C-alpha cells in the first residue's frame, strides 16, 4: 500500500519586520507552509523606509556590520538567499566608519575615529591614549576572544554555548573601572552599547563586545533603501512558496489545552497552524493571549521588563552647493566628567534621489517626557501644537550639530518623528527603539524570551538575542533551532 504523503508542517508568523521575514524565509526553506501576517498595509516594520517628496528616508537601517565574504551577516544573507540583490557599499576604505566628536571632552581627545578591523581599532585606541596601552590590551584580549566565538556562531552551534559568557555578565563600566581606565578611554569604548540603548553601567561585557565586534568586522551601507530590502525579502519568501497577509493585525493567538491552534485576525478571520512565531514585542504578545493561556508569573515577568528608550529623528534636504556627502557616520557625544556617555546625536549626510541635494538624517534620544501630552493620540491626529514642538526640537538638534558639520543654510525639513510615531508604526511599547533592554539587571528575566509554556508558540524579533538587522536575524535562527530541535537545526541550517 503506498504511504500517504507526510502533511507539511504549518506556521504563522506575526509581524513582517526583519525578524518576521527572516524567520518565515528560514521556515519556508525548511519546507514549512508559512504565512506572515502584518498589521500595516506595507510590510517591513522598522526596516522599511518611508518616502517624503520622492526621497527615501530610512528608519531602522543606517548601516550594517559583518557583511564581507564569510562574515556572519553575509552568511545569514547568503542563507536567506538575498545577498545578490542588495547593492551594498563598503564603508571605511579611505575614511573611518564612525567619527566620534566629544563635545565636552575634559581629559580625552575631542575626536576619535572608529576604523574597520580589530587590529586597527587597537592601534587607534593606543594612539589616542598612549598612557593606557596595558588596559587597552586587556580589553582587546577579551574583545578578540568574544569576536572569534561570535564569528563561529558558538552560541548557536556549540552544545555548551554559555560557558564562556557566564563569566562576562559584569557591567562594561565595572570592568573598565576595575582596571582604572581614564574617563576619556571609557567614553570611547562605551559609545556602541549606549547607542543601542544600554548604558555602560548596565551593559553586560559580553553583549557590548558582541555589538562592537559586529561593526569592527566590516561596515556597509545599503545603496538602495530599506523599502528595497523589504521588497527583496518579500520576493524571496514568495518564491519559496511563503505567503504574506498585510493590513490585518493579529487580534488573538488561539490556544486550546496548552497547544497553539492558530490566530484570529482583527476582521474575525481565523487562521490555523500548528506553530505560531510572534516576531513582535513580548509585551504585545501578552495582549494577544487570554488570561488563562499563560501563568500569572510569566505575565508579570514579561510586563515588568524594562525597555530601551525611543528615538527622535529628523530628515532634511541640504543643497549640495554648501556641503559634501560624508562617507562615514558622525556621532556627537556628550559625556559626564567621569566619562559616562549621557547624550548621543547620530548624523548621516548622504546622496539622495533629489538632484542637487543631500539627505541629512539625525537621530537622538527620544526625550519621552516632551511627548507625554500626546501619548493618548494616534499618528496623524496629534494637532498643531505637536507639529510646532517637533519642528522646534528638530531645529534645535540641527543647530547642535552645525559646529561639527558647518551651518545648514536653505535646509528643507522632510520629516520629524518621535517615539510616538515608532510606537504607532510598529506597535512597540512606548515607542522603544531597540525593544527589551539587555541589561545586567534583567539578565535572567530577559533570557530565553523565544520560549513559552504554550506548545507551538514561539517568539522572535529583536528581543530574542539582540537588536539590529544582524542581532534580529540571529534571534530568528535561535528561535527556529528551538522549534525544530538542535539535531535537525545542525543538519539543515549550515551557515
Ligand atoms: C531609529 C533606528 C535606527 C536603527 N538603525 C539601525 C541600523 O543602522 N542598523 C541596524 O542593523 N539596525 C538598526 N536599527 C535596529 C533595527 O532596525 C531593528 O532591530 C529591527 O528592524 C527590528 O526588527 P523586528 O522584526 O524585531 O521588529 P519590527 O521592525 O518592529 O517589526 C515588527 C512588525 O510587527 C508588526 N506587528 C506588531 N503587532 C502586530 C500584530 N498584532 N499583528 C500583526 N503585525 C503586528 C509591526 O507592524 C511591525 O511591522 C535601528 C532601529 C531604530 C529604531
Host H or E run for residue 110: none
98 domain residue, yes or no: no
The verdict on 352 and 291 lying in the same domain is no
The verdict on 177 and 77 lying in the same domain is no
Judged against a pLDDT cut of 80, whether residue 167 lies above it is answered with no
Host H or E run for residue 228: helix 226-239
Judged against a pLDDT cut of 70, whether residue 166 lies above it is answered with no
The verdict on 389 and 313 lying in the same domain is yes
Q: How many CB atoms lie within 10 A of CB 287?
A: 13
For residues 3 and 298, what is the distance between their CA atoms, to the nearest angstrom? 43
For residues 294 and 385, what is the distance between their CA atoms, to the nearest angstrom? 42
Output the nine-digit C-alpha cell for 368. 519621552
Domains contained in the chain, number:
3
Residues in contact with ligand 1 (CB, 6 Å cut-off)? 14-20, 37-40, 45-47, 59-64, 249-250, 279-280, 284, 311, 313, 363, 426-428, 433, 461-462, 467-469, 472
Q: How many CB atoms lie within 10 A of CB 407?
A: 11
487 domain residue, yes or no: yes
- Report if pTM > 0.95: yes
Domain stops at, among 189, 221, 253: 221
**Ligand 1 midpoint to CA 74 (Å):** 20
**Residue bearing the CA closest to ligand 1, atom 14:** 60
Domain stops at, among 205, 221, 237: 221
Host H or E run for residue 142: helix 133-151
pLDDT on residue 3 = 60
**Which one of 196, 230, 307, 468 would you pick to mutate in the ligand 1 pocket, going by the greatest count of ligand atoms within 8 A of its CB?**
468
Judged against a pLDDT cut of 80, whether residue 107 lies above it is answered with no
* CATH number, residue 35: 3.50.50.60
pLDDT on residue 165 = 66
Q: What's the chain's average pLDDT?
A: 95
| List of residues 6+ apart from 85 with CB closer than 8 A | 232, 235
111 domain residue, yes or no: no
**Ligand 1 midpoint to CA 208 (Å):** 21
Domain enclosing residue 382, as ranges: 307-430
Whether the Cβ atoms of residue 52 and residue 315 lie closer than 8 Å to each other? yes
pLDDT tens for 254-306 read: 999 999 999 999 999 999 999 999 999 999 999 999 999 999 999 999 999 99
Q: Is 49 exposed, middle or buried (0-12, 13-18, 19+ CB in 10 A)?
A: buried
For residues 188 and 191, what is the distance between their CA atoms, to the nearest angstrom? 6
pLDDT classification of 39: cutoffs 50, 70, 90? very high
The verdict on 234 and 299 lying in the same domain is yes
The verdict on 240 and 292 lying in the same domain is yes
**Residue bearing the CA closest to ligand 1, atom 47:** 426
Q: Is 264 exposed, middle or buried (0-12, 13-18, 19+ CB in 10 A)?
A: middle
Handedness of CA 71, 73, 77, 83 (dihedral sign): negative
Amino acid at each position: 500500500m503506498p504511504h500517504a504523503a507526510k502533511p507539511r508542517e504549518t506556521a504563522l508568523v506575526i509581524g513582517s519586520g526583519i525578524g518576521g521575514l527572516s524567520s518565515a524565509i528560514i521556515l519556508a526553506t525548511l519546507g514549512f507552509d508559512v504565512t506572515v501576517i502584518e498589521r500595516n498595509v506595507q510590510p517591513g516594520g522598522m526596516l522599511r523606509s518611508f518616502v517624503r517628496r520622492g526621497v527615501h528616508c530610512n528608519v531602522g537601517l543606517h548601516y550594517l556590520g559583518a557583511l564581507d565574504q564569510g562574515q556572519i551577516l553575509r552568511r545569514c544573507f547568503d542563507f536567506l538567499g538575498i545577498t545578490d540583490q542588495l547593492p551594498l557599499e563598503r564603508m571605511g576604505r579611505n575614511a573611518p566608519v564612525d567619527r566620534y566628536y566629544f563635545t565636552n571632552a575634559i581629559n580625552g581627545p575631542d575626536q576619535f575615529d572608529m576604523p574597520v578591523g580589530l587590529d586597527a581599532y587597537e592601534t587607534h585606541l593606543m594612539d589616542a591614549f598612549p598612557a593606557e596601552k596595558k588596559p587597552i590590551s586587556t580589553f582587546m584580549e577579551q574583545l578578540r576572544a568574544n569576536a572569534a566565538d561570535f564569528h563561529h556562531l558558538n552560541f548557536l552551534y556549540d552544545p555548551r554555548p554559555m560557558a564562556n559568557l557566564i563569566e562576562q555578565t559584569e557591567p562594561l563600566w565595572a570592568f573598565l573601572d576595575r582596571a582604572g581606565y581614564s574617563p576619556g578611554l571609557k567614553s570611547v569604548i562605551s559609545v556602541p552599547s549606549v547607542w543601542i540603548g544600554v548604558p555602560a553601567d548596565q551593559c553586560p561585557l559580553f553583549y557590548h563586545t558582541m555589538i562592537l565586534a559586529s561593526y569592527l568586522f566590516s561596515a556597509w551601507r545599503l545603496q538602495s533603501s530599506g523599502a528595497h530590502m523589504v521588497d527583496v525579502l518579500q520576493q524571496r519568501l514568495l518564491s519559496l512558496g511563503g505567503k504574506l497577509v498585510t493590513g490585518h493585525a493579529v487580534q488573538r493567538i488561539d490556544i486550546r489545552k496548552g497547544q497553539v491552534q492558530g490566530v484570529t485576525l482583527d476582521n474575525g478571520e481565523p487562521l490555523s497552524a500548528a506553530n505560531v512565531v510572534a516576531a513582535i514585542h513580548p509585551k504585545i504578545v501578552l495582549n494577544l493571549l487570554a488570561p488563562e493561556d499563560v501563568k500569572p508569573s510569566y505575565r508579570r515577568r514579561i510586563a515588568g521588563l524594562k525597555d530601551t528608550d525611543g528615538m527622535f529623528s529628523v530628515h532634511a534636504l541640504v543643497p549640495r552647493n554648501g556641503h559634501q556627502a560624508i562617507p562615514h557616520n558622525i556621532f556627537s557625544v556628550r559625556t559626564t566628567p567621569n566619562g559616562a556617555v549621557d547624550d548621543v546625536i547620530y548624523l548621516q549626510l548622504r546622496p539622495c534621489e533629489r538632484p542637487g541635494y543631500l539627505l541629512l538624517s539625525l537621530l537622538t534620544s527620544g526625550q519621552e517626557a516632551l511627548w507625554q501630552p500626546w501619548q493618548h493620540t494616534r499618528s496623524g491626529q496629534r494637532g498643531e501644537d505637536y507639529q510646532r514642538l517637533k519642528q522646534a526640537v528638530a531645529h534645535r538638534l540641527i543647530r547642535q550639530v552645525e559646529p561639527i558639520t558647518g551651518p545648514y543654510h536653505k535646509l528643507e525639513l522632510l520629516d520629524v518623528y518621535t517615539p510616538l510615531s515608532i510606537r504607532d508604526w510598529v506597535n512597540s511599547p512606548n515607542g522603544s527603539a531597540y525593544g527589551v533592554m539587555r541589561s545586567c539587571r534583567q539578565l535572567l528575566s530577559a533570557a530565553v524570551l523565544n520560549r513559552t509554556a504554550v506548545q507551538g508558540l514561539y517568539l522572535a524579533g529583536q528581543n530574542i538575542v539582540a537588536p539590529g538587522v544582524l542581532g534580529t536575524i540571529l534571534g530568528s535562527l535561535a528561535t527556529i533551532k528551538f522549534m525544530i530541535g538542535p539535531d535537525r537545526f545542525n543538519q539543515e541550517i549550515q551557515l
